[in-house]
Chain A
């Protein structure tokens, strides 16, 4: 039953529940399904996937659905959908990112700069075509997983990003080789792909030339470590969890969880997402500069003003 509720999300009448059970017995039977294997014996996780509706727009704010119902309202979601399922942060249980006080102040500064950007660096990294890092890359549109012996490769349509996850037991790349997507090492635990990623890029100048964990200015330092668990539940669903730890920014490790669903469109092919080549920030900078000049105060918010 849990499986079904998670699969569909939200509040569901028993008639609908019955319909789902009838339509997808394999999904409910879950445990009896065994993933096929790749040539080198990995559980086959290949295909085109996308974060499920429960995580819709969580890349914008991971706290969405928990503490900011305005977000949901602005996306025209029915009130019934603003429920527990929408809480992407599952630990701490209150659904909030456990910032240390200094980090909360810094995040707030990001939200102010977002509202009235006067420099390119004030505009959030995604809008500047930055690689999104981890786990945020997994929340931005379709991703295709390929497997070859000893590795899992995740391709993202958004900004033609990719991650190569080595499974061959090699050590992490040495300190000093930080990258925007981080340095990923994986292993299979049964049907769960466990990926540990470290060595993320940190802006040497100290301001915002690095990925954010969400659009609301959630940032990290060189101490970031992300452990992801991709569990194949059935042919069309991955249960995804990521534990995010950065003892310099957060008071505790925190965890997000949501489901990823297979995109079954036939012959789906990524098209080129050339972002930087067409980016324009002119209007936003002009508006931000005018607002600051006029002495306006503001912060990025979804509340009605």
Chain B
């Protein structure tokens, strides 16, 4: 009883101590210009790479609670059918099997670390997977389209202590996961990166695509700082592992 009381008091003290600090942002690491410092190497730890929706385990696939708000993606009927077809033929159709650039937000939860390099005017995201990169230009406008880029065009701004990144100008070739969840070139992604303590980012994504979804929908997950000693990004040069095989489609072109 006494022990439980102490624990409870400690928990209360901890909660009281933590809440105002993080809320006021006093404990957050900050850059010279006063922004929360997101620099470092981050990693999503979940099974969204396989399926962003809740799913049971399969051989080689860990089960997952899903990262989509409401556990449902509001596909239009034809788009829902396309997802089912994608899923059935995922071994062949998943762009990951060709080692193409993974798109956004998929790049952030593929199971590889990525590094954020933060400067006042530009945040660069360096991915270990296929050395994909994104350069988030701050407080500037998207170039005029139509442009179809694999990783889209990213523009950032600070909303208080949250980095908000608006991403458009995608192609229709990337998926959200290995389960065939897909989009068109009209994809519009808004990401919110909120440093909640020095080692965690709350990552929230709003997805819009008037050709594919009946309404915007959201996903969210924590990103964890890689605390490994001397952590650094290595490489995963996907297509180089089995080039003749991967080049199959390219040879046909």
Contact = CB atoms under 8 A, between A and B. Distances in A.
Verify that A and B bind, or say they do not.
yes
B85 interface: no
A281 B232 contact: no
Contact of B150 (A164, A183, A270, A274): A274
B250 interface: yes
B140 to A, nearest CB: 8
B251 A209 contact: no
Interface of A: 39, 46, 119-121, 128-131, 146-149, 151, 153, 155, 159-162, 164, 166, 170-171, 173, 177, 179-181, 183, 201, 209, 267, 269-272, 274, 276-282, 285
Interface of B: 31-32, 39, 99-101, 115, 117-119, 122, 124, 126, 130-133, 135, 137, 140, 149-151, 173, 230, 232-235, 237, 239-240, 243-244, 247, 250-253
A172 B239 CA distance: 26
Contacts of A153: 117, 124, 126
A279 B240 CA distance: 13
B100 A276 contact: yes
A278 B249 CA distance: 10
A159 B235 CA distance: 14
B149 A274 contact: yes
Given A201-B237, A278-B253, 20 more contacts: A39-B32, A46-B119, A121-B244, A130-B240, A146-B122, A146-B124, A148-B39, A148-B118, A151-B117, A153-B117, A159-B131, A162-B124, A162-B126, A162-B133, A164-B233, A183-B232, A269-B135, A270-B135, A272-B151, A281-B251
B232 A120 contact: no
A271 B135 CA distance: 9
Contact of B253 (A130, A148, A170, A280): A280
B233 A119 contact: no
